[in-house]
């Protein structure tokens, strides 16, 4: 059977690409190039490889080159992803590219668009239309305009983008469901890029004033641009937001709602976001009643992630958390009474070898006692991925290898009563996190 390339398959049956065209060079009619627009994105396939994906601003996001995947974030960083096989398993290896490698790859991607545009303009490319009725043929003018847009993303433009991005954030922790969310940061804890899963910094949480937050949100919307078409959530960071008075949380949510199209109808080609995701990992002295949670929901909140390092108080104390089980239960009960979705984040390996048994038993007991129901989630994260331990934890022998895997399996088994209630229990690795 004749091999049909990815490009050929997409031209004929790529239903996601409602506008598409095939291109062949006059001197190589067998070498098909696919170009197409789908919701929020544009793709180029050169046979089976290389493959490039762009947002509607012309910024490349993903590429498959030389048998390797590359991911580029809005911050300008690029990670190379390999999926080698080890025995019966496929594993994931991620490496951050150096600045020099990033510049070279950016230019390589840019030149692909520049060269393809030049060939189309010179008449060296022949068009192959999609099958009748399956899609709208992508016209040359529209294609040339977008290729020119890609070509404008040279090293200077990317450098400016990265610089703007760095001014926006203090590296907030992203809950598992917020990998691809639009991140806006209302509160910042100086000196700690993450506080869930690591001991807290000594500094006070800093809160943006209304004018500063509105300016921040506007700048985030500008830097996202048409990539908003790909987004489904806004993550209102960080851990300190829900520790603020309810009136202030409502102001944050209202500001977000003015800047982004949340929960509103949209026409084809327009952005629509499902809602706002929140995060909380300190329940001590917290008092948010169901009516206040309903106020947050009325302003776009749809889910809160709760960082629960462990059900064992002695293990939580390693992370400087002093909340009680009853305080966590009360927080969950009030949020569920208001109708909010909940995701619980627990750690595998918290407390090391010394507290391993207490951690598993107490965490399972606490999580199964929470008022969770169908549509809620429990994520099991690897504590080693969350940062370096403080001095008071350095004496603990960490779980490694088979011992760590065994604890993950034991936690999953101990949480089976949650699965019976329709709650998904999902292992999660930060390797998958991409801002």
What is the model's pLDDT at position 267? 67
pLDDT band at 172 (very low <50, low <70, confident <90, very high): confident
Average pLDDT score over residue span 30-42: 94
pLDDT at 40: 94
The structural domains of the chain, ordered by start, are 6-154 (no CATH), 168-432 (3.80.30.20)
Token couple for 224: 């996202």
User: In the structure encoding, which two tokens stand for residue 24, read together?
Assistant: 């062949």
Confidence of residue 430 (pLDDT cuts 50, 70, 90): confident
How distant, in Å, are the alpha carbons of 78, 200, 371 from that of 100?
11, 35, 51
What's the whole-model pTM score? Answer: 0.92
Residue 208 CA, chain-centre distance (Å), reads 23
**pLDDT at 213 (0 to 100):** 97
| CB distance 286 to 327 below 8 Å | yes
Query: What is the pLDDT, as a whole number, of residue 390?
Result: 40
pLDDT tens per residue, range 361-407: 999 999 999 999 999 999 999 998 886 544 344 557 899 999 999 99
List, in order, residues 6 or more apart from 329 with CB less than 8 Å away: 369, 370, 371
Q: According to the model, what pLDDT value does residue 389 have?
A: 43
Stretch 256-277: mean pLDDT = 86
**∠ CA 372-283-201 to the nearest 5 degrees?**
130
Of the chain, the percentage scoring pLDDT greater than 90 comes to 78
77-134 pLDDT, tens digit per residue, is 999 998 766 666 666 778 999 999 999 999 999 999 999 999 999 999 999 999 877 7
User: Is residue 51 over pLDDT 70?
Assistant: yes
- Max Cα-Cα span within the chain: 73
The chain-wide mean pLDDT, for the chain, equals 91
Burial class from Cβ neighbours inside 10 Å (0-12, 13-18, 19+) for residue 323 reads middle
How much is the pLDDT for 190? 62
């Amino acid at each position: 059977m004749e091999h049909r390339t990815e490009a050929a398959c997409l031209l004929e049956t790529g239903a996601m690409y409602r506008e598409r065209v095939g291109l062949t060079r006059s001197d190589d009619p067998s070498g098909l190039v696919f170009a197409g627009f789908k919701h929020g994105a544009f793709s180029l396939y050169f046979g089976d490889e290389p493959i490039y994906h762009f947002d509607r601003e012309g910024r490349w996001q993903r590429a498959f080159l030389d048998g390797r995947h590359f991911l580029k974030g809005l911050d300008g960083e690029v990670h190379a992803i390999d999926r080698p096989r080890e025995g019966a398993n496929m594993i994931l290896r991620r490496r951050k590219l150096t600045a020099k490698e990033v510049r070279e790859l950016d230019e390589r991607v840019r030149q692909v668009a520049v060269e393809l545009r030049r060939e189309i303009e010179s008449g060296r490319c022949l068009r192959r239309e999609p099958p009748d009725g399956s899609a709208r043929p992508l016209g040359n003018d529209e294609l040339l305009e977008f290729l020119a847009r890609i070509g404008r993303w040279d090293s200077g433009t990317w450098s400016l983008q990265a610089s703007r991005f760095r001014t926006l954030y203090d590296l907030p922790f992203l809950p598992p469901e917020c990998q691809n969310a639009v991140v806006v940061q209302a509160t910042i804890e100086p000196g700690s890029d993450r506080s869930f899963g690591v001991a807290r910094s000594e500094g006070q949480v800093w809160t943006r004033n209304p004018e500063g937050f509105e300016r921040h949100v506007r700048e985030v919307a500008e830097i996202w641009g048409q990539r908003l078409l790909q987004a489904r959530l806004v993550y209102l960071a960080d851990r300190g937001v829900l520790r603020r008075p309810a009136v202030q949380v409502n102001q944050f949510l209202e500001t977000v709602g003015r800047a982004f199209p949340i929960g509103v109808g949209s026409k084809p080609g327009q952005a629509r976001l499902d809602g706002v995701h929140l995060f909380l990992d300190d329940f001590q002295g917290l008092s948010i009643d169901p009516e206040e949670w309903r106020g947050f929901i009325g302003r776009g909140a749809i889910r809160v992630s709760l960082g629960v390092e462990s059900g064992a108080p002695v293990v939580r104390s390693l992370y400087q958390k002093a909340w009680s089980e009853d305080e966590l239960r009360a927080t969950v009960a009030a949020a569920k009474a208001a109708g909010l979705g909940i995701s619980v984040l627990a750690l595998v390996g918290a407390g090391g070898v010394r507290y391993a048994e207490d951690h598993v038993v107490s965490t399972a007991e606490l999580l199964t006692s929470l008022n969770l129901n169908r549509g809620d989630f429990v994520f099991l994260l690897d504590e080693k991925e969350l940062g370096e331990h403080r001095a008071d934890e350095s004496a603990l022998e960490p779980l490694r290898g088979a011992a760590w895997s065994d604890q993950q399996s034991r936690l999953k088994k101990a949480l089976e009563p949650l699965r019976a209630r329709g709650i998904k229990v999902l292992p999660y690795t930060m390797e998958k996190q991409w801002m």
